[in-house]
Amino acid sequence: MLKIEDLHVEVEGKPILKGISLEVAAGEVHAIMGPNGSGKSTLAYVLAGREGYEVTKGSITYKGEDLLEMVPEARAAEGIFLGFQYPVAIPGVSNIYFLKAALNAIRKHRGQDPLDAIDFMKLSKEKAAIVQLPDELTKRSVNDGFSGGEKKRNEIFQMALLEPSLAVLDETDSGLDIDALKVVAQGVNALRGPERAMLVITHYQRLLDHIVPDVVHVLIDGRIVRTGDKNLAKQLEREGYSEVRDAPSL
Amino acid sequence: MSSATEPIDEILKKSYDAGFVTDIEQEYAPPGLNEDIVKFISKKKQEPEWLLQWRLKAYRRWQQMSEPRWAKVSYPEIDYQDICYYAAPKTDKDAPKSLDEVDPELLETYEKLGIPLHEREVLAGVAVDAVFDSVSVATTFREKLAEVGVIFMSFSEAVQEHPELIKKYLGSVVPVSDNFFAALNSAVFSDGSFVYIPKGVRCPMELSTYFRINAAKTGQFERTLIVADEGSYVSYLEGCTAPMRDENQLHAAVVELVAHKDAEIKYSTVQNWYPGDENGKGGIFNFVTKRGLCEGEASKISWTQVETGSAITWKYPSCILKGDDSIGEFYSVALSNHRQQADTGTKMIHLGKNTKSTIISKGISAGHGQQTYRGGVKIMRGADNARNYTQCDSLLIGDKCGAHTVPYVDVRNSTSKLEHEATTSRIGEDQLFYCRQRGLSEEDAVSLIVNGFAKEVLKELPMEFAVEAQKLLGVSLEGAVG
């Protein structure tokens, strides 16, 4: 589904990603782990097409297409979803209105009819239940005055509604207490499926106790230094990033 | 970041949807202004002598006045002798009595603007007093309104049919000498609307007037007067649009509202006159004087405006809160794109006891647009326990526009309470990216964010107007991304 080859990315002239290669097949969950400043979020933004992230070398192929040619909304319509580390607020725009506009824009791209208000509300209720998002939050302005945990739950709620093919979750666990973490992880697990790939970016291993990955990559200083199974995450937790970087591959 | 500013140059290249000219014979007064022109206008309209004298008095005052320069707007000198002060569609005999008698081409103009009179008549139940250029050509629903005693007609008709009301109220809120543009309007006003709601009557429908400027170099000098007698209620909608022109067009309207005891007037405007092209060429100069008098106890006047058009906007819909317990409200969304300049706000003058005013102003600047909120809250000596709440928010799109806030406060009674809140924000790249990541196009994202910003004001508009205004904000900002 996703194939990244020798990807080099600069931000404001500074090299951040220095040759990443990665392949994710449908149905797989990959974790990207790494210390602060290693380029994890940059990878997420490049996949979603954010401005200011310049690809200087390499390629990204998604569902057989050149992803780098697509504008962000086209990527979204093609099924790429980014769960933001810091979701932004949009005052005055209700969550539900925002999502209906988003979903219908994506449906339009797929040649489907827009959902009407009644069908949408029904769908929204169903999906909100997955992350136990209170009804009241779906009606409030997008992320406006939400707590950290509410914002993250809202991201997963949006993911559930938009049903992406590739979900990139950027530090979804940051700022969550253990109960909230469990709820979010359950939400994510409920969305795992044979047609859906996930890239879970995290600093800590604890999220991976709840969202068990098929593959773990360790990203340090813009390069993937190790790739392994879920046990690699546990090893990291025990030994720290520097040990893992210097140790020979498993 | 150059990557962020480049799209700005792509911006706002949206051509004006309503830019076309209707070909209808006009009857002009020769350009220029002198006492003879004032007399010509008055005679054309077969006005009584007192009104002619009133106009002449205004004209003489105007000659002694100079154009106000305190607003934060700049525009080339206006040559008042180069303007035509009267133009009306030619009529063979009498003005049309029903839509069937209206020039089909005129009706087609409204169709193009998406204002099908027939549909509005039947579906929306809105009475439309359509002002084409200067003379009203279609007034609908008058009979139905007459059943409850509501008077809704063109100003010139009202002069003929209800001279006693006109004489009593004309100039009672905005005196002829009030300001330069109001004096000019008083001298040469051509037509407009008159509304009278009798005691205890709740106007059964929303009253609506669509204005349209249609003759090159013809200034528009509308005069609107709305009187709500004791315990009555009326909601009045005003919407404007104009065809594309290369030359600046002057518009100096006057609106006067009078609310008696326990009466309420809700006045809503969606203004979409031609704003000029992206280089600031063309566009309407909109110098408007709007004021409401809360004459009676517990009366209420509420102004709601969505201002997206005009090259220059100079407009301060105000309330004089004379009656005890009276309420004044001002809700505004003003948008300046391209080279548009808007200096707009309100004045709330508290005279009566326990008077309350609310000001919610939302300014949106994009392109090279300049936006100034100018507000005045005055609490006079006798206004015990007066209250004002002012909220004034600015939204910037791109890095070449400007937002300015000039709130004046003058308090002469220590029992009053005033609150003022102001914010300035920018449509962030992060907000746009967030929306686009969820599948929305850049333009839809801007439109969504702006409508969210303006929501508190838009919700004050009547339903169908709110939908129109929402669309208008989106259209006015197409491509305006930074």
**CB of B280 closer than 8 Å to CB of B311:** yes
- Contact by Cβ (8 Å): A200, A148: no
Task: Work out the average pLDDT over A141-165.
Answer: 93
Contact A190, A14 (CB under 8 A): no
Query: Which of B355, B219, B381 is CA-nearest to residue B292?
Result: B355
Query: Would the CB atoms of B438 and A99 count as touching at under 8 Å?
Result: yes
User: What CATH class is the domain A2-246?
Assistant: alpha beta
For residues B464 and B447, give the distance between their C-alpha atoms in angstroms, rounded to a whole number.
18
Q: In a 3-state reduction of DSSP, which class is residue A70?
A: coil
Q: Which residues does chain B have within 8 Å of residue A50's beta carbon, measured at their own beta carbons?
A: 433
Residues β-bridged to residue B334? B307, B363
Query: What whole-number distance in Å separates Cα of residue B448 and Cα of residue B395?
Result: 13
pLDDT reported for residue B1:
36
Q: Which of residues 137-166 of B touch A (CB under 8 A)?
A: none
Instruction: State the angle between helix axes of A148-162 and A117-130 in degrees (0 to 180), rounded to the nearest 10.
Output: 120
A84 and B434 in contact by Cβ < 8 A?
yes
Weakly modelled stretches of chain B, pLDDT under 70: 1-28, 88-143, 209-219, 240-248, 478-482
Element (H, E) at A58: strand A53-62
Is the per-residue pLDDT at A143 higher than 50?
yes
CA-wise closest residue to A3 among A197, A228, A174, A236 = A197
Residue B252's closest CA among B279, B230, B219?
B219
Contact (CB<8Å) B452/A91: yes
pLDDT at B247: 52
pLDDT in tens, A75-133: 999 999 999 999 999 999 999 999 999 999 999 998 999 998 899 999 999 999 888 88
Q: Does the beta carbon of B122 lie under 8 angstroms from any beta carbon of chain A?
A: no
> Chain A closest CA to B440's CA: distance in Å?
6
- Separation CA A1–CA A63 (nearest Å): 5
What's the complex ipTM? 0.95
What stretch of H or E contains A187?
helix A178-190
A195 C-beta neighbours (distance < 10 Å), count: 10
| Residue B330: closest CA among B368, B370, B377 | B377
Residue B433 with chain A: CB contacts under 8 Å: 48, 50-51, 72
Pairwise pLDDT comparison (A48 vs A116), residue with the higher score? A48
Residues 6+ apart with CB under 8 A from A223: A18, A19, A20
The whole-number pLDDT of residue B317 equals 96
> Do residues B55 and B42 make contact, with C-beta atoms less than 8 angstroms apart?
yes
Describe the strand order of the beta sheet including A2-11 as a list of residue ranges: A14-24, A2-11, A53-62, A65-66
Query: What pLDDT is attached to residue B125?
Result: 35
pLDDT at B97: 54
Of B433, B439, B440, the CB nearest to A50: B433
Q: What is the mean pLDDT of residues A54-60?
A: 96
pLDDT at position B209, please? 64
Instruction: State the pLDDT at residue B283.
Output: 82
Nearest to A141 among B428, B438, B452 (CB): B452
pLDDT mean over A49-74: 96
Query: Do B412 and B381 meet the contact criterion of CB atoms below 8 Å apart?
Result: yes
What is the Cα gyration radius of chain B? Answer: 22
Mean pLDDT of A69-74: 96
> What whole-number distance in Å separates Cα of residue B307 and Cα of residue B476?
10
Mind listing the pLDDT tens digit for each residue in A213-223?
A: 999 999 999 99
Among A72, A98, A101, the residue with its CB nearest the CB of B433 is A72
pLDDT digits (tens, 9 = 90+) for A9-40: 999 999 999 999 999 999 999 999 999 889 99
Which residue in A has a C-alpha nearest to residue B439's C-alpha? Answer: A73
Which residues of chain A are at the B interface, by a Cβ-Cβ cutoff of 8 Å?
48-52, 71-73, 75-77, 81-82, 84, 87-88, 90-93, 98-99, 101-103, 105-106, 109, 141, 158, 162
List, edge to edge, every strand of the sheet that includes A197-202.
A80-83, A166-170, A197-202, A29-33, A215-220, A223-228
Whether A149 shows a pLDDT value over 50: the answer reads yes
